[in-house]
Each structure stands twice: as structure tokens, then as C-alpha cells.
Amino acid sequence: MIDYIKAMFDLALDGDKQGFLFFICLYALVVCGYSVLFQLRVARWPEAKGALLQGGVSKIGGTEPVRSNQEYVASALYEYSVDGTLYQGKRVSPWVMVASHNAKFLLEKQMRGIQRDADGGVSVFFNPNNPKKSYLIKPGKLGIAFTLSLAVGPMLLYGYAYAV
């Protein structure tokens, strides 16, 4: 395996497409693989009841005269209590997305994924080892599967194309 990686490194240094693709696929495997492990861990976090103080889709960056070039993020401010200690959180989801004006609807859909109670409270998912870290949306099976496909898919396609 080490010899293969060295050979791919030499190909990449020579400007060969196969060497570049190998390292791009390896990068996707490592980064997305880590993301899958993180999402699996967050999916097991316990839940606390909280109160949403602010929530919505916010414009970020400077003033952009062309609407389609404006960028947006989902933003929130919420409070929750764990073992009698009050915490505030800002993270909406482990899936951090920045969207253009034309794709802002994706962020609005993400915000609709916040679990709300009949009394107006929200579910907050917190790290049991560090309760000040929290999210309003847990990673779902579909999102984890998508990230896993981004991790493994490119390497499988590479293997198919170059018959490793």
C-alpha cells in the first residue's frame, strides 16, 4: 500500500491525472469519513428542552448589489438547561451551509427541521461530556448516508476507472 501511495505521489508530481485524482479521492475519504464519525457521535447526544430566543435565515457579508450574489446562513440563539445549569447555544446543525439568495430556500427548509413542542419549546441536543456544545437539529440517517457516499464514492469510482 505504501508503495502504491508513493507511486501516486510520483505521478502527481509529474502532473499525471491519475495521481491528482488519487489524492483528491483520498482527501474526500479522510474529510468526509471524519464527518461521518462526527455525525454518528452527535446522533447519539441526549436531548434537553429549550427555548428558541431568535431563529431564522440571516444575510452574511457586505452589501452586494446583485441579489443572487448575496449569501445567507441559518442562525439561532437558544437557551437550555442541563443538570440545573443554564446554557445558550447558537449552532443549528452539524451541516453548516452557506447559500446564495437563489438557494436560501434550503436554509429555510433546514430551519423547519427544528423540533418544536406544542408549548413553543424546542429540542436541544447537547454533548453529554461538554453540555455547552449543542445543536437544534440532529444528523439524520439520510444525511449520514449522503456523507458516507461522498467519502467512499470517489474512491470507488477511482478504483473502477483505474482498476486498482
Same domain, 127 and 54: yes
CA 159 to chain centre: 26
Same domain, 82 and 114: yes
Residue 55, SS3?
A: strand
Same domain, 60 and 33: no
Alpha helices in 62-140 (DSSP H): 104-112
Residue 125, SS3?
A: strand
Same domain, 58 and 117: yes
Q: How many domains does the chain have?
A: 2
Same domain, 50 and 128: yes
pTM: 0.83
Same domain, 61 and 127: yes
- Tens-digit pLDDT profile for residues 39-63: 999 999 999 999 999 999 998 877 7
* Domain ranges, residue 158: 2-42+146-162
146 and 35 Cβ atoms separated by less than 8 Å: no
- Tens-digit pLDDT profile for residues 94-142: 988 899 988 999 999 999 999 999 998 999 999 999 999 999 999 999 9
50 and 43 Cβ atoms separated by less than 8 Å: no
The C-alpha cell at 128 is 453529554
